[in-house]
Every structure is written in structure tokens, then in C-alpha cells.
Chain A
Amino acid sequence: MLLTFTNGVHPQEFKSWTNNSPVERLPFFADYVIPLSQHIGAPSKSLVRKGQYVARGEKIAEPGAYVSVAYHSPVDGVVSAVELAEHPGGKMVPSIKIKADPFSSQRLEKKPIDWKSLTKKEFADHLQNSGMVGLGGAAFPSHVKFAVPDDKKCDYLIINGCECEPFLTADHRVMAEYPLEVMRGIEMLQYFLTPKKTFIGIEANKKDAINILQLEANKHPELAVEIVSLEVKYPQGAEKMLISAILTNEVPSGTIPLDGGYLVSNVGTVAAIAEYFDSGKPLIERVVTVSGSNIKRPANLLVPIGTSMQELLNACGGFKSSDFGDSARILLGGPMMGMAQKSLDVPVVKGTSGVLALGVLEVPGRNTFQCIRCGRCLEACPMFLNPSTLGLLAKKGLYEEMLEENLMDCMECASCSYVCPSGIPLVQSFRVAKAVNRERKVA
């Protein structure tokens, strides 16, 4: 019996398209755009000016506040502009544009860092200056996450290797190909956080990753890492769902997992942290899954941050159908929570775990009908909310009443929208309601 949480949905996986293709490194392209707010928090401040030569891995932006991270150049090249550019979130944000040097190489002049001599504070500073953010998709700055306040204690460190979103296999490939880094990262986190127990939660559909990590864990018995195989169900990879699956404890409404002594981190982030301290390489590239029925050659790619989406798709053979506008949808991230894109000029950012080009078959134009109160969304919601009531309130614009229905517990996993037989875009209206309520709170 595999461990899991209550409720949830079973979307079709589509992982077989890329789960056996090894991670390929992309060659450098001509132009890179690095938006200065790829993370959650205050935008970073640019350190470079137009015409300046930057080396690969050189710091080009410093954190603008505590909840903010540094940025590094992914390539040797010349800064062509510091101006507004399109961001995958839909806004125009200040960005550093770099024209790559044609002779740019993968060489990185960085030294390993002796992490055992660091204090907790220095460790956090290093994370901030390496630009480390959560690579699962939300891009929350890691130094904030791993800075455990004195009155709290991290008892359980949970490494999240679920990757429950359909199509995506980036974390799967990281676990299968970089098990050493994952273990090194766990060693470092254990040194600074001193958890009582460490788990790696992996969905059962990644047998090879489980086996490889188990072999690696057996080589390091002193780390006492327990690898937990979990049922394949969406959203297994959500923080609170993972805790409820592994430890059968629920995180109470209105608290964060750290209040209960849990700390959940994405497996890719852990590997990136290990890479930074072992080789000095800051977060300048990440593994991205490019998949979908409209892509000629689905693949897992090691992509420098700032690569334009157009180049990335070209590297995968481009679209199958020549007419992109009518037949496909481009998503950044997975199909359940990913962001639909209207332009191919956006860059790959730190939170981009996948780029999906979906064809007409996967994205049928769907009509919205009235709510028939069938209750399927209640069975799907992993946070035990009532999406049907919330949806009706949202339709009437009663956003404050939605707070009493625990709207703020909604993590926008889209399970309710997925099961809704009337095709009501519930999560979309919840996002509006959350934004309006946050605005009213401020005002």
C-alpha cells in the first residue's frame, strides 16, 4: 500500500514521452534576457550598465531586499541593454539583456566553498548571493526558506521528488542522473538544519529514480535518508499534501509547514545547492522539460536561465503544425498549474520547470455551463474546501464572503477545475478573488 493524501485527481500522465531521454545541454544562443524579478519578493537591483562585458557566472544583479536574490550572467557576453522586457508572468519587468560572446564557453572560474566552516547566517548569505530559489515552480528564495527562526525547529526535512504534474520529467531526470548531488545537498542541509529525520518522497511511477537514489542512500548510511514511494496522484507534490502523505499529519489552516517542524524542498533545488557549494556555480542554468503533442522532439534540456522560448522550441525541432496561433497552447510549467503564454519572446526563468506546446486534441475549446452541484470538486479538493460554493460566491462577486469559506487555503492546484463536468474555470476566479482580497487588505 503506497502512501498518499486524501482526495486529489488522476490526470493522464504523458510522462513516457520524455522520462527516458537524458538531460541534454543546450548550446549558447545569441541573446539572453534576464528579468530582475524571477523570484517571489522584491525585484533585484542591476549591477551592470550597457556595453559592459560580463563573464559566465558573474554577478549582474544584487538582492534588492531581504526576500530577494542575486542574478548571474548565464553566458560570456556584452550587456546590450537594461530595460523593460516581457516576463512569463505577463508583465513587463526591468531585465538585463545580454548579447552572447560567440566564443563563450562552459568554463566557469569559480572555486568550491568550504561549507563546513560556515555559520548558519553565512550559509543563508551564500544562498542569497548564489541566486538560489525553489526550482519547483514557485521560485521562493531559498535563503528565506532555510533560515529557520530560533523559536522554530526543523524536525523533518522532506525532499520533494514527486513531480506530480503531467508531462514534466525535469525532477525525475535530476534524480536519475544527479543522485550524488542530491545526496550532497541533503548532507549540507542536514548539517545546517539538524533535522531528526530526512525523507525523499517520490511518486511510484519513477521506479528508476527510486532505485538509483536508494543505491546512493545505501552508500551514505550516516545520513539516514528514507526514500518513500508514494501513490501517483495529483497534487502529491504540494507541500502540505506531501507532509500528510509521509507523516500522516495535517498542516493546520493558516500556518506554514515550518510551524509544525516540517521543511519541504524540491529535489532540483537541493541538487543546485550542492552544485553551488561543490563547484561554485551559481544558479545560472536549470533542467527544463520541453514536451507536448505539438513538439517535434520532446526532450529534457539543461537550459541557461534567460534563453528565449523561441530558441528553446527550435532546439526541440519546433512545432509540428506550422500554424501555432490556431492549433496550440504554450504553457510554462505543467498543464495543471502552468501559465499560458501569448508570446514566444519570453525567457526561461528560474521557476520554469517545463515548456509545453499542446495541440488541439489536448486543448479542446470548452464551454462553461451552470454548476450542477454534483460535488465532484469537493471530492477532488485536497485542502477540503468547497470549490462549488466558492465558485458561486465568486460568480456573484462576493469576494469577502469567500474568506469565510477559507479561500486563502486554496493553493490553486486546479483539481476542481480539472474534474468540473460543467467546465467552470474555478481556479481562475479564485485567483481573482485572492488578488482582490489582498488588495482590500492593503487598502
Chain B
Amino acid sequence: MWTEIWVAVGILVGLGLTFATVLALANKQFWVYEDPRIDQVTDLLPGTNCGACGQPGCHAFAEVIVDGSVLPGKCTVSSAEKIEEIAEFLGVDAGKEEKRVARLQCAGGRMEDRDKADYQGQKTCRELAVVHGGNRGCAWGCLGLADCEKVCTFNSIKMNDNELPVVDIETCTACGDCVDVCPKDLFTIMPISQKLIVQCKSLLEGDLAQQICSVACDACGRCVSDSIPGLIEMHENLAVIDYSRNELASPSATWRCPTGAIQWVTEQQFKVASQPLFPLGRVEVLSDKQVRL
């Protein structure tokens, strides 16, 4: 009996030694040098693989920062201390990247751009968009079924009670998932210093635009004449801001906008809980004295 056991043990040990030798040789033969710092840097990164830095994941980003072609500050998810730690570890400049956030180019919520039809299908924006372009009056506007809220990895997007997505500028990492998922292409990733924002994509003009949505850009062109020449241009009935001249922008462009389509945004775009809204029109007599716009 003991011989049988020793034979079995001998075979296993023999096999183990053979494979160990093969593996050891293969390891020598096919060894590839990888900078050990890459793994260490990967450990310091947040590990969300969100793609906001432009790389396919955190490991890939670690490769390019160790490589030196990109500065660690490109990661917008990590905290400032962590970035500083990486920079110190690698002995490079942290590189201050300007914070960027997702901005919505539409301000037409449920109260401004009202439903024209009742929709009974699947409750996602993408699926609503294939049915006659959605049930809202505006063909370009937000559909309000919160695909962006569901897709956001960082829970930065919350729908408010006006069915508009509110982007929390503290937690938004500009990863761009909401840009991809929006069937109406309403999200744009913008540096936070770009405060002048046109919150409309409607290509209609004048009364036609206003009849559909009370906060639409009706192409009156007042913002163009109220700002530094060349900053804003009317293009296809829509105010288009030339962000290369962003330092010249001032809130004056928004002062005479009759609909509020152009806004000077310093924080998040919309209120989390919107104020009492009046679905019957823009002017409502509340009491004898009070008239609210």
C-alpha cells in the first residue's frame, strides 16, 4: 500500500517540478519590463474607471502619467490631496486641471415645455425619443425621463420636480456618460469658468419658438448686441457663444433676454426643488397686490 502512495506522490511532485521549470523558463523568456510605479500609481487613483481623463480606465491613465505625457491633475475624480500625493511620488508637477461639469442645453421642464400627448411605453428617454421624437412640444428639448440620472456613476444627476436634471457641480467628474446617453444630445462638458450658457437648442424663431416653450431662444439677438462684439453670434436662430473669448463674457448679455434662454450660471443650473410653478402662463395674479412673473 505504501508503495502506491509513494508512486502517486512521486508523480505529483515530478509533474509539479516539470511545470515549475517550464514556468520559470517562460517567465525568463517572455519577461516584459513594466514600470513598478504604474501599479503603485493605480492604487492611488480612485479606481472608478470613469473615463473622464480621456483614458479607457485608471490603469491606462496611470501608464500615461508615469510616462509623463499627462499630468496627474487630469483626473478630476480624485481629491486634491491624492493628486498631490501622486505628483510627489512621481516627482512631477500636479498640473491644475480646470474643473469641468456637464451642462444641459435646455431649460424646458414640464412646466415650460408641456406634454402634448400621453405616453404609455417604456419609461426611458431613448425609447420615448423613437416614438415621434417624444411627447413634449419641443422637438429638441429634454424629455424628462431621467436616462442621465440612471447612467450617472457618481449620483451627480438628480431630476427635480420640474423634470429637469440638476447636475451637482461638486460631484460631477465630467466623465461624459450623460452626454452619450441623452437621445437629444443636450449635455455638453464645459469648464466651470464658462458661465454664460445658452440653455436652448430650438432652431425656431420668434413666436413659433415661444409658443412651444416659454424659455426657448427666440432668436431676437439682444444678447448679441449687449455683449462684446464677436462673443455671441446668431447661428440658425440660436445664440452661439464663442468660448475662445470666454474671458470677455459678462452677465450683461443675459439682462435683456426676453425668455431667459441665456443664463449666467455660477453654480448648478437648476434648482433641486423648483419654486411654485404656474402652468397657466408666465404671468399669474396671486392676490390683489402680488403679481409674479
Q: Which residues of A approach B to under 8 Å, CB–CB?
A: 83-84, 86, 88-92, 325-326, 339-343, 365-366, 368, 425, 428-429, 431-432, 435-436
Contacts and interface: CB of A to CB of B under 8 A. Distances in A.
A64 to B, nearest CB: 17
Given A84-B203, A92-B139, A92-B203, A432 B130 contact: yes
B132 A341 contact: yes
Given A84-B203, A340-B131, A340-B132, A90 B139 contact: yes
Nearest to A364: B120
A340 B135 CA distance: 10
Contacts of B204: 84, 92
Nearest to A440: B180
Contacts of B130: 428, 431-432, 435
Nearest to A367: B120
Contacts of A339: 131-132
Residue among A326, A365, A428 with most chain B CB within 10 A: A428
Nearest to A86: B139
B203 A429 contact: no
Contacts of A435: 130
A366 B203 CA distance: 35
A365 B120 CA distance: 7
A368 B122 contact: yes
Contacts of A340: 117, 131-132
Tell which of A86, A90, A436 has the most Cβ of chain B within 10 Å: A90
Nearest to A339: B132
Q: State the main secondary structure of chain B at its contact with A.
A: loop
A91 B139 contact: yes
A428 B116 contact: no
Contact of A429 (B118, B127, B132, B135): B127
Nearest to B202: A92
Complex A-B, nearest 9 residue pairs according to Cβ-Cβ distance, in ascending order: A90-B133, A342-B117, A90-B132, A342-B116, A431-B130, A92-B139, A432-B126, A425-B121, A428-B127
Contacts of A425: 121-122, 127
B134 interface: yes
A149 B38 CA distance: 57
Nearest to B133: A90
Nearest to B151: A397
A428 B122 contact: yes
22 contacts: A83-B205, A84-B203, A88-B132, A90-B139, A91-B133, A92-B139, A92-B204, A325-B117, A325-B118, A341-B132, A342-B117, A342-B135, A365-B120, A366-B120, A368-B122, A425-B121, A428-B131, A429-B127, A431-B130, A432-B126, A432-B129, A436-B126
Contacts of A86: 139
Contacts of A83: 205
Contacts of A90: 131-134, 139
A429 to B, nearest CB: 6
A91 to B, nearest CB: 6
A19 B205 CA distance: 44
Contacts of A342: 116-117, 132, 135
Given A92-B140, A342-B116, 7 more contacts: A84-B203, A86-B139, A90-B134, A340-B132, A342-B132, A366-B120, A428-B131
Interface string B108-125: 000000001110111000
Contacts of A326: 118
Interface residues of B, number: 20
A296 B97 CA distance: 66
A210 to B, nearest CB: 36
Given A89-B133, A90-B133, A428-B131, A343 B126 contact: no
A86 B116 CA distance: 13
Contacts of B135: 342
A343 B117 CA distance: 8
A263 B280 CA distance: 55
Given A92-B203, A340-B117, A366-B120, A432 B127 contact: yes
A391 to B, nearest CB: 11
A35 to B, nearest CB: 13
Contacts of B203: 84, 92
Given A90-B133, A340-B131, A435-B130, A428 B121 contact: yes
Interface string B195-215: 000000001110000000000
A431 B131 CA distance: 10
Nearest to B204: A84
Indicate the member of A90, A342, A368, A429 with the most B CB atoms within 10 Å: A342
A432 B128 CA distance: 9
B200 to A, nearest CB: 14
A334 to B, nearest CB: 16
A366 B119 CA distance: 11
Contacts of B129: 432
Interface string B238-276: 000000000000000000000000000000000000000
Nearest to B117: A342
A289 to B, nearest CB: 20
B122 A429 contact: yes
Contacts of A429: 122, 127
A358 B116 CA distance: 17
A439 B256 CA distance: 39
Contacts of B118: 325-326
A429 B117 CA distance: 20
B135 to A, nearest CB: 6
Interface in B134-166: 134-135, 139-140
Contacts of A92: 139-140, 203-204
Given A340-B117, A342-B116, A89 B122 contact: no
Contacts of B134: 90
A133 B181 CA distance: 34
A169 B121 CA distance: 28
A431 B126 CA distance: 10
A329 to B, nearest CB: 9
Nearest to B120: A365
A398 B165 CA distance: 25
Nearest to A93: B139
Nearest to B237: A84
A86 B140 CA distance: 12
Residue with the highest number of chain A CB atoms closer than 10 Å, among B117, B121, B130, B132: B132
A326 B205 CA distance: 31
A86 B135 CA distance: 13
A432 B124 CA distance: 10
A86 B203 CA distance: 12
Contacts of A366: 120
Contacts of A325: 117-118
